[in-house]
Structure 1
């Protein structure tokens, strides 16, 4: 059972989010590791003391809250310090998918990532709605995968992830390969490209003379209703006949016929390879 935790990269952007959710939890004994001056300053502001790498050997779980391009190097440098049976947790599938986690048969690799609060997640408390990233007040789901290790470690890893990503409504168990299809494939490579293209379209309309506030309000309102219709949030709701005709005109102008290639498993592996290069 996980009792002692070492959080590596505790003062980074993601590390601070996890620190904030773990520091007052009495179920775990957490040590915080950070090497950058900026990170140490953030921890100091939180009243959190930085530990040395000596704590790694006694940790039941080690959370690697470091950028994807550094995980392989960091994990390799700590590899001999992990105790047998240690659960090593990464916050993204890229390192596991890209083969950057060093081989050692007597440790567990557990991968988890937040879904972030849904656009359909209407919080009763309006302030919670503005926790866009999650992990503070707005409810989100998480995905988890046991990349390597005994089955009983899955439940322990999921329970810990629910705490450091809290508040969590659902935890979905999937494989590392499936998680990579979700990110980077679906959420970053596909959706990120679509989102930036949407922003470019809005900026183009404003450049053509439509007042910025009018264009923004119109665009955001239509995103809201279009999402609700597209993803079955309105029972029996459909687009207008004219809108379907407009979609038929726009889709071949905007998307290549082979656009789904970006979601092919082999292409996702290529994306991971590019993203994890230093």
Structure 2
């Protein structure tokens, strides 16, 4: 069996570095592509040789797009025509492939994948793994979607994703639309503001005289219980008094129509704005 050839676009970026480090340990032919002068110098300083995309991509079985969302559409128009027939492209996010206008080819396969990151209630033995919020040390799940193309090529991309995001517990096959619901809508548009309210509430408590250490310790402990009850499978439930607080707080804090962020038109407008950053 021939050794897989893989191009990493944006090899000197944050994600590109992680991918390069992981895949350098495997029996693969890696081609590292980087346009920025600082990125090129970084690779050279690490003893790695950058390869022009015009040279790398035609001989690659898989092209990994480890570049910022704002550049994906433009770079796809440069890269996709260079791909060999039967080649595969891996996007590391669904936002631009779903909401944007990336270039596709009928004779190539296109895949999107994204890490779930280590779960809050994951069971890790080592302190270093328990402090790993991004992934790479602690176990995590991954979601993957076939944008278009061959199932066999999806399976190949999935195997590479398992190496990139290792250690991996489960890889969940979903659709591109479902992945776009998960991120940016669920994980960023909904979760981040909800958690930001908690941070603002802690700040407000401190302004009103609560010692900061006490407020933070109290909130983090209680949030853990709340998340365990609602999401973590804890065999307990909120007290009757807490259910009153939940109802009244929900009415005061959230707009009745907040779920409209999931509507396609609103979701797309938010995503398009995010893609420019």
Give the TM-score normalised by the residue count of structure 1. Answer: 0.94
How big is the shift at 1:276? Answer: 2.0
Mapping for residues 43-54 of structure 1, pairs under 5 Å: 43-44=43-44, 46-53=46-53, 54=55
**Partner residue, 2:179:** 179
Q: 1:225 to 1:45 in 2, by over 3 A?
A: farther
**Helix, strand or coil for the counterpart of 1:229?**
helix
Mapping for residues 180-219 of structure 1, pairs under 5 Å: 180-219=180-219
**Partner residue, 1:248:** 247
The C-alpha deviation readout for 1:95-134, integer Å capped at 9, x for no partner, is 2112421132111110000000000112011211111001
Mapping for residues 57-68 of structure 1, pairs under 5 Å: 57-68=58-69
How big is the shift at 1:55? Answer: 1.1
**Partner residue, 1:224:** 224
Q: 1:39 to 1:208 in 2, by over 3 A?
A: farther
How big is the shift at 1:265? Answer: 3.4
Give the paired residue count. Answer: 275
CA contact (8 A) 2:100 2:272 kept: no
Mapping for residues 256-275 of structure 1, pairs under 5 Å: 256-275=255-274
- Structure 2 stretches lacking a partner, 5+ long: none
How many angstroms apart in 2 are the aligned matches of 1:131 and 1:45?
27
How many angstroms apart in 2 are the aligned matches of 1:177 and 1:228?
28
The higher-RCO structure (CA 8 Å, 6+ apart) is: 1
Question: Do structure 1's residue 6 and structure 2's residue 45 form an aligned pair?
Answer: no
Mapping for residues 83-232 of structure 1, pairs under 5 Å: 83-134=84-135, 136-232=136-232
CA contact (8 A) 1:94 1:180 kept: yes
How big is the shift at 1:232? Answer: 4.5
How many angstroms apart in 1 are the aligned matches of 2:117 and 2:41?
27
**Partner residue, 2:33:** 33
How big is the shift at 1:141? Answer: 0.4
How big is the shift at 1:191? Answer: 0.6
Q: 1:240 to 1:211 in 2, by over 3 A?
A: same
Give the TM-score normalised by the residue count of structure 2. Answer: 0.94
How many angstroms apart in 1 are the aligned matches of 2:15 and 2:182?
19
- Structure 1 stretches lacking a partner, 5+ long: none
How many angstroms apart in 1 are the aligned matches of 2:45 and 2:244?
56
How many angstroms apart in 1 are the aligned matches of 2:179 and 2:112?
9
How big is the shift at 1:44? Answer: 4.0
